[in-house]
A and B are shown apart, each in its own frame.
Chain A
Amino acid sequence: MELNDSLKVLCGLSAVTGREKGAASQIAALFEPLCDEVRTDAFGNVYASCRGEGRNPRTVLVTAHYDEIGLVVTGIEDSGFLRFAAMGGIDAKTLPAQEFTVFGREPLYGVIGAKPPHLVSAEEMEKVIPIDDLRIDIGYSGDEAKKRVRVGDVVGFRFPVIEMKNNRMASNAMDNRSGVAALLETLRLLKGLRHDDHVVVAATVQEELGLRGAVAAAFSTAPDLGIVVDVCHADMPDAPPDDQFPLGKGVAIAIGPIVHPARTKEVIELAKRERIPYQLDPEPGDTGTEAAALQVAREGIPTILLSIPCRYMHSTVETISLDDVRGTAQLAARFIAAGPWKEKEGGTTC
């Protein structure tokens, strides 16, 4: 499958954070032809392993989370409208006039509407509508709605993938299905490359709730090196300039306390050598990515963080460039195959 097609398939899956299980088998099926073994753990983390050919292989863990932000039903009103709360970092501004799938006893179509502008005062228009004031309309009366939906059912965005100019694509789930697509591409590239080390590629769960899936993945795979693939903020007119990594200009390589300095230096050198476009991403804090969890998992895992620039993160129109996804995979695959950390092991101080 071409990269854009697999990304479309991935974006079409629904995996609201904490309730990803239904998508796990489909991600496993995408991994299957590209690796030696696929397994799914109790939480829904999907692991694909490729055996290394070296004599003393180590283990490299490459993670990208596949959960997405969504909503959870907190009440069913007598009028049939659903109350809800956020699962993950939902921006209330992105909710009005949006379509959803409510995962009730059966999946149901739902819509969050908006008051017609004829009835909105100028004053009201200045304010963001708080989440508590919004409802999901599933088109059923209260009694019928209660038969079909329970408190606790999750709700996912329903938004098709939009293909735009310059290999750019938009979807509600680019954070982080674009990362999972990069995992697939990495596996595909690794088939054509010799790698001494075992590679475990993990599509992880519950990142949006606080990196919870990665904690389990790091523990159970006990890797010697971690590579985290996630998204970072792309260029936007109204965002701070130091938080912008232009779309289509290559993978952003994080530099900062939470990533391993030597491994990061090596991956940058490799990108230069192989002429893979990249951008430097200075990260003074913990990044909020799975790298933060991997770094301090077990006895500590040397970790690097590769990010795909993404515009409008946590909205229905998260936009990425396919070129960046491809570049990210190339860099990850080459880095794994080159295994630069081994030769230098003795000489590196870090």
Chain B
Amino acid sequence: MLNPYELLKELTRLHGGSGDEDAVRDRLTEVIRPFVDELHTDATGNLIAFKKGTGSGPRVMLSAHMDEVSLMITHIADMGLLRFRTVGGIDPRILIGKRVLVGPDRLPGVIGTKPIHLQTAADRKNATKLKDLRIDIGANDKTQAENLVKLGDRAVFDYEPVEFGDNKLMAKGLDDRAGCAVLAWLLQERYTFDVYGCFTVQEEIGLRGAKTASFAVMPDYAIILEGTTCYDVPDTKEHLMSTWLGKGPALTIMDRAVISNRPLVDFIVETARQNGIPYQFKQTLSGGTDAGRIQGSGEGVKVATMAVPCRYIHTPVSVLDRGDFDAMRRLASATLKRLPELFGRT
């Protein structure tokens, strides 16, 4: 049996900016190949696994995205410093003082800032803009930098996972390697219905991979496994916290991309109650997941999203609670096992 938590840690160490998910896909391919009946990578880069059911029933798609937020080199400036843009949503204010790896050779680099000693009063008040940030790889000058880095090269965060506090895990890319790890683990089981396990690409730049994956699969039901926003920190109004760490996986009723299929959500809640698994509802309506794309495929798909709350997502230091991760795995598994009951109802 897979150890889902160890797999999670391993996956967060891999780098996979949107459109550049190869390392994650290669590892996941190795991991799930023994459990699945068919496996292929589609034209956009989604990894799609098929697992034949033991009986008949609707097609169920399970989906998690492989990509993470990253940076792209857009200009090689004077002094050999690199200008860049973000690939996916990153608050430029969190980039100062971070370590990154640039390009296919993973050159170590850092993002600096004008020292506090040289800042004006306005500098101290106003946030640094993305256009004023640079990656420094130690190049002597522009020419040397041009030999080391190409425009379009990716820069990824260079952060190792750390276990700390009361059952907490800090890692980059928990959004959505947490979903990937759970999905890989779920594929070990055989279900009565056909299951398509889709590890999608390019979620962070507009839910792009899921569009082609769901078109190919044309599922009846889809459950999206995610890492979601959580901001349960002091001085935040409770209704703006989105989710709480340690209160179980979060179910989405509605976000900017989808209104979940209510019967499916209710069924998941029922499952959680029956099994004594904690769950919560995501409170904010911001963001969107692959569920939006999948729901709109073909004649429409019944979707629900289940997510591990992650503090500080879209930074290199996101944090989850291992209890939540474990609860999401158990809830997803329990739901799938009794999913045929739901087919009967509808």
Contact = CB atoms under 8 A, between A and B. Distances in A.
Interface of A: 77, 79, 81, 89-94, 96-99, 108-111, 113-120, 125-129, 133, 135, 137-141, 144, 159-160, 162-166, 168, 170, 172, 233, 235-240, 243, 248, 288, 311-317, 319
12 contacts: A89-B117, A97-B315, A111-B317, A116-B287, A119-B240, A125-B92, A128-B127, A162-B158, A164-B136, A236-B115, A237-B79, A288-B117
Given A117-B89, A165-B139, A94 B113 contact: yes
B286 A118 contact: yes
Given A96-B93, A168-B138, A315-B97, 6 more contacts: A109-B162, A116-B287, A118-B89, A119-B242, A162-B109, A172-B97
Contacts of A314: 115-117
Contacts of A113: 233, 311-312, 315, 317-319
A209 to B, nearest CB: 15
Nearest to A111: B317
Given A114-B91, A117-B91, A164-B137, A312 B124 contact: no
Interface of B: 77-79, 81, 89-94, 96-99, 107-119, 124-128, 132, 134, 136-140, 144, 148, 158-159, 162, 164-168, 170, 229-236, 240, 242, 284, 286-287, 311-319
Contact of B127 (A91, A93, A119, A243): A93
Contacts of B166: 139-141, 144
Contacts of A127: 125-127
B317 A98 contact: yes
Most buried by A among B165, B242, B311: B165
A126 B112 contact: no
A96 B315 contact: yes
Contacts of A170: 99, 110, 136
Given A109-B164, A120-B91, A126-B126, A166 B138 contact: yes
A172 B164 CA distance: 21
Contact of A315 (B89, B93, B112, B312): B112
A252 to B, nearest CB: 15
B116 A91 contact: yes
B165 A140 contact: yes
Nearest to A134: B233
Contacts of A139: 164-168, 319
A116 B319 CA distance: 12
Given A133-B235, A165-B137, A126 B127 contact: yes
A99 B164 CA distance: 11
Contacts of B126: 126-128
A237 B136 CA distance: 11
A319 B287 contact: no
B234 A81 contact: yes
Contact of A77 (B94, B124, B234): B234
B127 A319 contact: no
